[in-house]
Structure 1
């Protein structure tokens, strides 16, 4: 099912100078805007001979450091050990978040049970001789898990070597608890003030409060929208109305793509929308929606794809295709990947309220079979993500 219009969004007020709004530090703004270090790189990207961007992590997962006098410098701190809980204030509403790891354990146990029943057979007759009589035990139908409601196991997709052991995994770069570590690349994601890192069993998630500071962003664009791609995340929305964006890309006049929640026909629905024109007009957007799917306080696996060869986009919810539609080439908006917000007509909209984790980017468009396999933890070792954050 498609929807070619932009439902009403929730614009966020622009912050006053020096107020620290949208998560930028108080005081005079940097000359290059958006709080990035000054320079000629646009969007805060470093140029030759200048200091590296503070959002970027190096090949060893360390945060870049800057000399004194630069506009931004991460606060010093100890290297993050194992899965030690990170310092910081308690997260509002964290107690309402799902225990993803426990759900995964239950799903794995149910999957093993179903496999045993499959080996035994739909109906297994066991002859028991007792007092000359013959009795039968029947393995009835319906004893297996509900596959539609089962959550993905922790082996939902291949992970890097350093994340197979819970003790080895860290969600942020060493010494900087506000920069999410890229497990497959080197693109850290800087957390805004109200998108907080919190525990998720032995791993981590981020939790947004649904206000103008509930966002995060990378230093540079992550997805090449001129080529095929797949983006996926596990989301838990605690908002009952309005636009709520899981991720988007672009910080100029408009987004290139956005994945999240919008109101469609008066009700909230999961959406995947792309922009095909450089003016950000509703007439040049293409949208796939998943209407009638429960999403309030429900752990949901979202996946969106763009096939550059077939020129179409598709949306999958918990491994099932919600819809697809043909699209013209996607407009390559300037600016980085965003978590928890999207740009509409030069205004930030869709602040995220709820939890996010297991965010991945692939440079190929998944098929319906691959999307289903990913949900069931049977995707196999390929394809591999190009970037990944907050793995489980």
Structure 2
């Protein structure tokens, strides 16, 4: 179990964190710059808070009142960064064994063969990091951290530099670490779907403060946290009621604000409420309903606002609740869309994810 209460100031930024995590895997999410990485570095001993304590399984890693501040190597906390930070001059095998060789034999929880098999990196062992893909580098970085036999694994947005395809390749390996090694994990990301693929237990952070923690389906019911969740990674979160199931065609119909959506088949009983999420990039816009198309979820709405981010346009639309769509600047210009215009939002059924489903 991880428990902490600390205050940390760096320049004009201040962090006040209070957490008590007693689940095998917990997630921490919030917008960029809110202090997630700073909090992880404090837990790992790379940053010293001005006040507070950090305890892991009842053992004090930091206690400013008692003058306790264990150095990083004595905390036995593993930290996987956004970028792999592999040693470029060493082979994959030498990178993996770097921390392992420094451990006394009795302290080694895993063997090289066990981690290589778990992460399926055997063919990579003789290579140098420059010859690896981004996903391969992150698997090697994860393996190196695991071979250092940490008591707690901290993952600091380890998939943020990867495209969606490579993320989906890495997540199963993280689930294997969770299920087979049973190593306590704290997973940080601004993508809530990423977190919920590993655990339903989350803490929410904004502007250096922990806003809430617990089961996502319960925490997200708080209005101020729901608004934050909608903004993370340009995702959309809706509270819906399950209406009916059609197992023969693999479909579940849900309802929100007098609208229906057809989603993949769910095991939730009719009448139950749940949260579903959709990335803004998975929302297509049309100026009229489209027939003769496989996308059957077509919901009328009105544009509330548009803003440009690099070469993309983020469009806020009122479909009974505000949602975001991320489309190209060219598409907006070609359609001549502007604030106040009526549009239709098109959603593929399988682009929606049930967020409250147990993992």
Q: Same fold (TM over 0.5)?
A: no
TM-score, structure 2 as length reference: 0.29
Greater share of residues in strand: 2
Q: Which has the higher contact order (CA 8 A, sep 6+)?
A: 1
TM-score, structure 1 as length reference: 0.27
